[in-house]
């Protein structure tokens, strides 16, 4: 990949995480007044329409574009993604955007730790040490004796675990088939399941809230599209550090719009978690480069 593509990929990643931050602000607003299930259901309606249109535009046709070798794996990862989104939106309404994202930042560390049992990847002592340090950061954030600790504080931890599993399962499905297939089935399966779950919670909404819901659904879709575009232009290891800017954008929105407080334990603990996560990304890149070098020398 050229330096120009990498710079463009980084720019797209920054725009993407800004869109995700705004999207989460809308989700916090909607989740505070309506059923989370209904909000996510409408989001998936947009998602399903988009991926269906995309699939129909593929040169090989709809059937060829969405044929998968892993139907059960696609189903399980889609269910996990649904659960993760619902848990995170609910967490926004319970402990706020700042606290939720500070704890959720542990997700890359969970991906690194679970890569061994799920993908069979070797995880060395350096990355295990980073995972331990990251967990210490989470403990500082939670502060059972006076921080944000409560049963609700475990919601973003659960969300991080679910998203880590979803990410690893996505890696499994994309090893031998195009990423769009996984993208398509996430939208279709999610739409069907969330419609079944969410329809009983469908309620009247004023025009303004309907507009907010439509914008939220569009931003969720557009953000994922830009995310895919950014990863097609640059390596994940080059983009991941910029993904943490979402926490900065989230903090600004949370303080200015929702009047949330930024406590010192969140700053310190969140900083530790982010640094530990960045270390695992850098270390993973070094390991992969070393493997590629050894293969090239054979």
Q: CB count, 10 Å around CB of 177?
A: 14
List, in order, residues 6 or more apart from 236 with CB less than 8 Å away.
281
Give percent of the chain with pLDDT exceeding 70. 83
Please name the residues in contact with 146: beta carbons below 8 A apart, sequence gap of 6 or more. none
Instruction: Tell me how far the alpha carbon of residue 232 is from its chain's centroid.
Output: 17
Predicted local distance difference test score (pLDDT) of residue 293:
44
Average pLDDT rounded to a whole number, residues 73-78: 90
- Per domain, the residue ranges of the chain are 3-297
Q: Does the pLDDT value for residue 295 go beyond 50?
A: no
- Residue 28: the pLDDT is 94
Distance CA 273, CA 255 (A): 21
Distance CA 282, CA 260 (A): 32
Share of the chain above pLDDT 90, in %: 29
How far is it, in rounded angstroms, from Cα 190 to Cα 82?
A: 6
pLDDT recorded at residue 237? 61
Collect all residues with Cβ–Cβ distance below 8 Å to 94 and sequence separation of at least 6: 152, 155
Are the CB atoms for 87 and 243 separated by under 8 Å? no
**Contact status, residue 15 vs residue 226, Cβ threshold 8 Å:** yes
**Range 151-173 average pLDDT:** 85
Residue 90 makes CB contacts below 8 A (sequence gap 6+) with: 31, 36, 155
Residue 4 has pLDDT above 60, yes or no: no
Q: Tens of pLDDT along 231-290?
A: 767 666 667 677 778 888 888 999 999 988 877 877 887 778 778 777 776 666 665 555
Q: Cα-atom radius of gyration of the chain, to the nearest Å?
A: 19
Both tokens assigned to 98: 């700042």
């Amino acid at each position: 990949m050229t330096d120009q593509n990498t710079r463009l990929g980084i720019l797209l990643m920054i725009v993407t995480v800004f869109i995700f931050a705004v999207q989460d602000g809308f989700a916090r607003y909607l989740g505070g007044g309506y059923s989370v299930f209904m909000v996510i259901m409408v989001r998936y309606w947009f998602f399903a329409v988009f991926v269906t249109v995309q699939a129909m535009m593929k040169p090989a046709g709809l059937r060829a574009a969405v044929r998968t070798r892993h139907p059960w794996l696609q189903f399980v990862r889609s269910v996990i993604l649904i659960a993760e989104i619902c848990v995170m939106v609910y967490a926004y309404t319970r402990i706020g955007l700042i606290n939720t994202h500070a704890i959720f930042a542990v997700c890359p560390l969970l991906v690194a730790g679970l890569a061994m049992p799920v993908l069979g990847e070797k995880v060395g002592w350096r990355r295990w040490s980073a995972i331990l340090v990251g967990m210490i950061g989470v403990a500082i954030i939670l502060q059972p004796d006076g921080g944000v600790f409560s049963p609700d504080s475990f919601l973003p931890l659960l969300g991080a675990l679910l998203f880590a599993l979803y990410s690893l399962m996505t890696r499994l499905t994309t090893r031998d088939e195009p990423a769009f297939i996984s993208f398509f089935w996430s939208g279709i399966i999610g739409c069907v399941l969330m419609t079944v779950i969410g329809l009983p919670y469908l309620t009247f909404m004023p025009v303004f809230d309907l507009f907010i819901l439509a914008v939220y659904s569009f931003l969720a879709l557009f953000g994922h599209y830009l995310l895919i575009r950014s990863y097609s232009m640059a390596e994940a290891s080059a983009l991941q550090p910029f993904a943490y800017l979402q926490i900065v954008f989230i903090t600004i929105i949370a303080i200015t719009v929702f009047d949330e407080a930024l406590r010192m334990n969140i700053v310190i603990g969140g900083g530790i978690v982010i640094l530990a996560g960045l270390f695992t990304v850098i270390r993973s890149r070094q390991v992969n480069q070393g493997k590629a070098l050894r293969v090239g020398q054979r």
